[in-house]
Structure 1
Amino acid sequence: MKSFEQGKQIIKNTIQFLPNGPGVYKMLDDKKVIIYVGKAKNLPNRINSYISSSYLPIRTERMISNTKNLEFISTQNEAEALLLEANLIKKNQPRYNILLKDDKSFPYIQLTKSHKFPQLTKFRGKQNKNDIFFGPFASSGAAGWAIKTLQKVFLLRVCDDSIFHNRKRPCILYQIKRCSAPCTNEISEEDYNKLVMDSISFLNGKSALIQKKLSKEMEVESKKFNYEKAATIRDRIKALTQIQSSQQINKNNFNNADLIVLFQKNNITCIEVFFYRSKQNWGNQAFFPKHDKDDDIDDIFYSFLIQFYENKIPPEEIILSEKIKDLALIKAALEKKYNKKINIKTAQNNNETLSIKLAIKNAQLALDKKLLENKNNDHFLSLINKEFDLGFNPTLIEVYDNSHIQGLNAVGSFVVFGKNGFIKRKYRKFNIAKTNINPGDDYGMLKEVLSRRFAKIKSNNDDEIPDLIIIDGGKGHYNVARKILDELGYFNLNMIAIAKSERRNQGDETFYHNKKEIKINNNVLLFFLQRLRDEAHRFAIFSHRAKRKNTFTQSALDNIEGIGKTRKKMLLNHFGSVKLIESASIEDMKKINGISDFVASKIYNFFNKNNLVSKK
């Protein structure tokens, strides 16, 4: 109670410094960590409500008790405050805010109009003004599938510029009629751009027009006895019909809209988002925002919307299953941010009502699946407790693994598992120092990773301490890890090592715990532990490959003064490899637009300096 009164006093002392008007306030704990972010139409009035209200929810009382400082940012209007609040919440993930977990950028289809033969590719991230983007798609798989089908219909290239500029003959995609092979001039620039325009028309919802056009072309070619060409067009029509069917293109679909519904059960909320673009259903995604059991549906939906669209361009229309507070404010904020008209509403006709009902059914199924997974996870965690005699059901597990090739590009990493499954935002990777460890020294790598990980926890208290760690390795790995943890003071931290055997595919793993060698006969538990180990292994390999790829993209060109990213890309696109650049003449380099006589001479002299010295 004393800390609650202290928190109220800190808030009271701050009110006198607050400007009248809209803004954002941040509550910080004793470690200067932001624990809550809020916005206000009038800062003093909103902050005063925390100390003048006769009743506060228990969660709010806990928040005030933990508040040791209060900071504020004044804004020009409430809409600006709303956008800033969403940005700060997503960036800092405050403990007492409603949080949109596992949010990510959705994939788009990109047409690189900046190239004379545009490439069809999948894209995430910040969009540029030169290219054309279609989306979002609900998943990477959905976008990838759409690209493959578009290849069949419009024969657009998917290869990157480097491969495109160095082809001497068509690749297999041309042979199986998935590409028109502009790389080797199998199609003219004019005809290729007709295919590009047709694909744009299709993605903009003009599928019937494209199908009619292709039918006429097939008929013309048949009359000319060009049966092979007519058959190719026929295959394209079939592919077009397939994508129309799978994407559920029909007159009842929404033109450009996001359909967003909410379903709640057992104090867990599922929010399902359906994406419609150009009357095409581009999939749906379920979200499970983190919130307190006392938060009402109105607050949850409101917080979700502004956080969801904080980094995603909204369509012209957003249709909701619930009417929530301050829709006009959200609308004004999004219109200001994205400079476009947006209509946010609830269902207003039979088609919209029916679509909302179907979407809610999907949300219910997704939530039921989530609850079943959580129940299974609780069961798995209790099995670990029973098998290894931990004395408690673990709630946070970290699983460690290393990856390297003969000591090169060594990476250590860990994945995290909790009651709700794998927590991917807590995954971490560590680049292993070359100087301290001999190549291929697994014990040395494990020692470095654990030392860095737990030394950081001990010094900063930034992360939650796991109650169980699992090591991918045998008795030696267990002993090394145990020694490190003991040296850092984590004597009571439980640890398990999983040792593979030659018959590991038959479930013959050996487990080490508290100096005991254990064989597990429970197949359910064995499968679960293998799944944890395999996820750690997958993430370690992924991190290693990313590092190795980054190493490969570095080249001798990086050592030439005046050769930046743009010129490096131009040279590699033209020649295809550093090796070919090394053997190129000055005249060959000068043929590239943007490479002057001086730059060409500098590159040539760099690669041929040994020859020049020997000639002298």
Structure 2
Amino acid sequence: MTEPTDTPIPLQAAALIADEASRAPDKPGVYRMYGEDGSCLYVGKAKSLKKRVVQYAQGRFHTQRIGLMVSLTRSMQLVVTASETEALLLEASYIKKLKPRFNVLLRDDKSFAELMIRRDHRAPQVRKHRGAHTIPGDYFGPFASTWAVNNTLNTLQKAFLLRNCTDSVYESRTRPCMLYQIKRCSAPCTGEISLEDYGSLVDEAEAFLRGKSRAVISRLSQEMQAASDAMEFEQAARVRDRIRALSTIAMETSVNADGVAEADVFAVHLDGGQACVQVFFYRASQNWGGRAYFPRVDRSDDEGTVLSAFLAQFYEDKPVPRVILSNIRPLELELLEEAFAMKAGHKVEISQPRRGNKKSLIDHALTNAREALGRKLAENSAQSKILDEVCEAFGLESRPERIEIYDNAHIQGTNAVGGMVVAGPDGFRKNQYRKFNIRGEDLTPGDDYGMMREVMRRRFGRLVKEEEAGEETERPDLLLIDGGAGQLAEVLAMLDEYGLSDITAVGVAKGPERDAGKEHFFMRGKPPFMLPLKSPALYYIQRLRDEAHRFANGAHAKRRSMDIKKNPLDEIEGVGPGRKKALLHAFGSAKGVSRASVTDLIKVDGVNQALAERIHGFFHR
């Protein structure tokens, strides 16, 4: 890290920080620095808030960047904590929530999928899980990709014949479902297997997921041989198929990770002012996948600073393993270990292996980090050139950091949905996509202009309210609208209404016969124009429009599917899940309920005279 430098700061900022220093307590805690527009500039922790703020007041900074941050500060907020460990955890929480401009920031953070064996039912269920561990059961993960967890779940069903149906489906079965017929479930719901034998299958699955795959496969091999010796060849073939399924997934996840029962492996690589952190998850001596992250950093940040900030934010909402391996030593290693142990409820060790199998795992992660960052830098170079062309095409003052693309989807006005897709210099930001279920009662079915008007009102009405409330928001630099002059006029009217006329909006109309490459573009105060056929900016806009179209159509199809599946009994007041289930059991379907008389309805448990008349009246109004 560079030596501290004495940097003069503006009088306004100096007076503010000096005042805060005079009142700051000599206790551990977290401080937040805010700019003139109310946005958070920086979140930091300190063993002594008073000493840290005094350093800022005296103009002693490690980098010019921190000096700039202090010069922009217009207010500060201090929070006292019981210890520096608690301050570290609170700091990570604030950084993820507020996304301060001057902090190392973990971007594109998503929860990871896990496998869960539920233990709160007499026939435990295996399923995919995300989020907190609030349901009693055994959790296995994390899996770095949806494909990995789905593949493992599929294999478990083949090998151990565990159910994945919901409890309501389980309780309502009177005969085995299709999964039983294709040898994917042992059907404990209908007694095709005893609960005791089913419990043995569950225990085998748990043992396999805990890394005892060889023992499980060995036992199954003995069972297959016994069935073969007894000339029960069909049973032997079924066990053989189970062994094949387990062997396949065991080979896919096997690594030379002796002595690494449970660990997360991190490798940091810096280049060109950017960083990549590659993480791999090892559980039960198996590699359960990995992912490359590209946190926002400053050129002055070193690898130890980046890794320390990254780890604190990464584990803010994720379970912490007992061992964390990394290619470099993070700053404040002991403090991180103490904070993670407090959070996890068990000892956590962070180490930098120098030799052996653990060093091999680190080297493997570092190779992936270098390759991933190399690809990222190459992509960014090409992306920068494309965004420069977009600037020129639409007269923007600078490269757009946030582009929002809008499209509507419906069938003759029914199940109308508006879709918003977000893109930036780093590609699509899928965690910021939004769908708008069109619900305006005054809209004429198929009124595309009215739909666009509603979407814009909801999107930017909310944006303005959040800004007025002082909440963190992000304005778009460019709006792309799937449509021509009419749709654009509605968008511009909404932007003017909310005082956002400085946001550039462009209508993208499909060309004659909807040919790609012949799109016409509409902007405020300009005649319609086209882009050169081989323009990279044109290809880029087509990709953005196609993604918005895909997203809106997908949301529309999902809404239409839910509407088709809707049961008319759900619309009757007084018919909850219990009574609905009783009615369907009694009459077989909603259609059967519609044909029943009041006298027949009263015979159903939980249905009195008044409710029977209400149900009958609903179907015969």
Q: TM-score range by the shorter chain?
A: 0.7 to 0.9
Query: What is the alpha-carbon distance in structure 2 between the residues aligned to residue 586 and residue 16 of structure 1?
Result: 76
Which of 501, 520, 545 aligns to 1:533? It is 545
Tell me the residue number matched to 2:206.
200
Deviations for 1:426-472, whole angstroms, at most 9, x for unmatched residues? 43444434234333321112123234444555673764443322111
Query: What is the alpha-carbon distance in structure 1 between the residues aligned to residue 296 and residue 568 of structure 2?
Result: 45
Query: What is the alpha-carbon distance in structure 2 between the residues aligned to residue 73 and residue 97 of structure 1?
Result: 18
Query: What is the alpha-carbon distance in structure 1 between the residues aligned to residue 513 and residue 94 of structure 2?
Result: 51
Gap change, CA 1:426 and 1:212, over 3 Å in 2 = closer
**Secondary structure of the equivalent of 2:309?**
helix
Residue 534 of structure 1 aligns to which amino acid in structure 2? Answer: D
**Does structure 1 residue 32 correspond to structure 2 residue 38?**
yes
Tell me the residue number matched to 1:108.
114
Give the drift of 1:557: 5.5
Residue 222 of structure 1 aligns to which amino acid in structure 2? Answer: S
Query: What is the alpha-carbon distance in structure 1 between the residues aligned to residue 487 and residue 309 of structure 2?
Result: 45
**Does structure 1 residue 515 correspond to structure 2 residue 520?**
no
Query: What is the alpha-carbon distance in structure 2 between the residues aligned to residue 613 and residue 146 of structure 1?
Result: 47
**Secondary structure of the equivalent of 2:313?**
helix
Gap change, CA 1:295 and 1:390, over 3 Å in 2 = closer
Give the drift of 1:387: 5.1
Residue 38 of structure 1 aligns to which amino acid in structure 2? Answer: G
Query: What is the alpha-carbon distance in structure 1 between the residues aligned to residue 22 and residue 568 of structure 2?
Result: 59
**Does structure 1 residue 179 correspond to structure 2 residue 179?**
no
Deviates more, 1:205-214 or 1:150-159: 150-159
Tell me the residue number matched to 1:448.
454
Gap change, CA 1:69 and 1:573, over 3 Å in 2 = farther
Gap change, CA 1:63 and 1:352, over 3 Å in 2 = same
**Secondary structure of the equivalent of 1:186?**
coil
Gap change, CA 1:344 and 1:230, over 3 Å in 2 = same
Deviates more, 1:300-309 or 1:179-188: 179-188
Give the drift of 1:281: 0.5
Gap change, CA 1:392 and 1:250, over 3 Å in 2 = closer
Query: What is the alpha-carbon distance in structure 1 between the residues aligned to residue 480 and residue 103 of structure 2?
Result: 32
Query: What is the alpha-carbon distance in structure 1 between the residues aligned to residue 49 and residue 618 of structure 2?
Result: 73
Which of 35, 43, 47 aligns to 2:53? It is 47
Query: What is the alpha-carbon distance in structure 1 between the residues aligned to residue 106 and residue 397 of structure 2?
Result: 33
**Does structure 1 residue 472 correspond to structure 2 residue 477?**
no
Asked if 2 retains the 8 angstrom alpha-carbon contact of 1:275 and 1:284, the reply is yes
Asked if 1 retains the 8 angstrom alpha-carbon contact of 2:405 and 2:421, the reply is yes
Residue 545 of structure 2 aligns to which amino acid in structure 1? Answer: R
Deviates more, 1:447-456 or 1:337-346: 447-456
**Secondary structure of the equivalent of 2:143?**
coil
Asked if 2 retains the 8 angstrom alpha-carbon contact of 1:165 and 1:574, the reply is no
Aligned pairs, how many? 602
Deviations for 1:346-405, whole angstroms, at most 9, x for unmatched residues? 114321112111110001111112112212212322343455566765443221112345
Query: What is the alpha-carbon distance in structure 2 between the residues aligned to residue 614 and residue 361 of structure 1?
Result: 66
Residue 384 of structure 1 aligns to which amino acid in structure 2? Answer: V
Asked if 2 retains the 8 angstrom alpha-carbon contact of 1:253 and 1:281, the reply is no
Deviates more, 1:446-455 or 1:505-514: 505-514
Asked if 2 retains the 8 angstrom alpha-carbon contact of 1:162 and 1:572, the reply is no
Deviations for 1:107-131, whole angstroms, at most 9, x for unmatched residues? 0011122222222211111112512
Query: What is the alpha-carbon distance in structure 1 between the residues aligned to residue 267 and residue 381 of structure 2?
Result: 24
Residue 529 of structure 1 aligns to which amino acid in structure 2? Answer: I
Tell me the residue number matched to 2:17.
11
Gap change, CA 1:450 and 1:434, over 3 Å in 2 = closer
Residue 87 of structure 2 aligns to which amino acid in structure 1? Answer: A
Asked if 2 retains the 8 angstrom alpha-carbon contact of 1:162 and 1:574, the reply is no
Which of 238, 242, 267 aligns to 2:273? It is 267
**Secondary structure of the equivalent of 1:516?**
coil
Tell me the residue number matched to 1:149.
155
Which of 121, 130, 133 aligns to 1:127? It is 133
Give the drift of 1:28: 2.1
Give the drift of 1:256: 0.4
Query: What is the alpha-carbon distance in structure 2 between the residues aligned to residue 337 and residue 80 of structure 1?
Result: 10
Give the drift of 1:165: 3.5
Asked if 2 retains the 8 angstrom alpha-carbon contact of 1:162 and 1:573, the reply is no
Gap change, CA 1:55 and 1:80, over 3 Å in 2 = closer
Which of 284, 295, 301 aligns to 2:290? It is 284
Query: What is the alpha-carbon distance in structure 1 between the residues aligned to residue 432 and residue 616 of structure 2?
Result: 52
**Does structure 1 residue 343 correspond to structure 2 residue 349?**
yes
Query: What is the alpha-carbon distance in structure 2 between the residues aligned to residue 137 and residue 130 of structure 1?
Result: 20
**Secondary structure of the equivalent of 1:183?**
helix
Which of 375, 385, 388 aligns to 1:369? It is 375
Gap change, CA 1:532 and 1:614, over 3 Å in 2 = closer
Query: What is the alpha-carbon distance in structure 1 between the residues aligned to residue 322 and residue 585 of structure 2?
Result: 42
**Does structure 1 residue 378 correspond to structure 2 residue 384?**
yes
Tell me the residue number matched to 2:4.
none
Residue 542 of structure 2 aligns to which amino acid in structure 1? Answer: Q
Gap change, CA 1:170 and 1:414, over 3 Å in 2 = same
Query: What is the alpha-carbon distance in structure 1 between the residues aligned to residue 47 and residue 303 of structure 2?
Result: 22
Gap change, CA 1:502 and 1:250, over 3 Å in 2 = farther
Percent identical among aligned pairs is 39
**Secondary structure of the equivalent of 1:440?**
coil
**Secondary structure of the equivalent of 2:25?**
coil
Gap change, CA 1:494 and 1:80, over 3 Å in 2 = closer
**Secondary structure of the equivalent of 2:371?**
helix
Query: What is the alpha-carbon distance in structure 1 between the residues aligned to residue 423 and residue 582 of structure 2?
Result: 45
1:72-111 equivalence runs, <5 A: 72-111=78-117
Alpha-carbon RMSD: 3.4
Residue 490 of structure 2 aligns to which amino acid in structure 1? Answer: V
Query: What is the alpha-carbon distance in structure 1 between the residues aligned to residue 57 and residue 276 of structure 2?
Result: 33
Asked if 1 retains the 8 angstrom alpha-carbon contact of 2:579 and 2:607, the reply is no
Asked if 1 retains the 8 angstrom alpha-carbon contact of 2:21 and 2:57, the reply is no
Gap change, CA 1:524 and 1:118, over 3 Å in 2 = farther
Query: What is the alpha-carbon distance in structure 2 between the residues aligned to residue 231 and residue 498 of structure 1?
Result: 59
Gap change, CA 1:149 and 1:614, over 3 Å in 2 = closer
Which of 608, 611, 614 aligns to 1:609? It is 614
Query: What is the alpha-carbon distance in structure 2 between the residues aligned to residue 569 and residue 109 of structure 1?
Result: 31
Give the drift of 1:538: 3.1
**Secondary structure of the equivalent of 1:200?**
helix
Asked if 1 retains the 8 angstrom alpha-carbon contact of 2:440 and 2:454, the reply is no
Asked if 1 retains the 8 angstrom alpha-carbon contact of 2:584 and 2:590, the reply is no
Gap change, CA 1:569 and 1:210, over 3 Å in 2 = farther
Gap change, CA 1:251 and 1:422, over 3 Å in 2 = closer
**Secondary structure of the equivalent of 1:262?**
strand
Query: What is the alpha-carbon distance in structure 1 between the residues aligned to residue 69 and residue 207 of structure 2?
Result: 53
Asked if 1 retains the 8 angstrom alpha-carbon contact of 2:24 and 2:53, the reply is no
**Does structure 1 residue 163 correspond to structure 2 residue 169?**
yes
Q: Which runs of 5+ in 1 are unaligned?
A: 590-599
Give the drift of 1:76: 0.9
Deviations for 1:564-601, whole angstroms, at most 9, x for unmatched residues? x8x68987998997778887967764xxxxxxxxxx24
**Secondary structure of the equivalent of 1:16?**
helix
Query: What is the alpha-carbon distance in structure 2 between the residues aligned to residue 336 and residue 32 of structure 1?
Result: 33
Gap change, CA 1:573 and 1:110, over 3 Å in 2 = farther
Gap change, CA 1:571 and 1:385, over 3 Å in 2 = farther
Tell me the residue number matched to 1:357.
363
When normalised by structure 2's length, the TM-score is 0.87
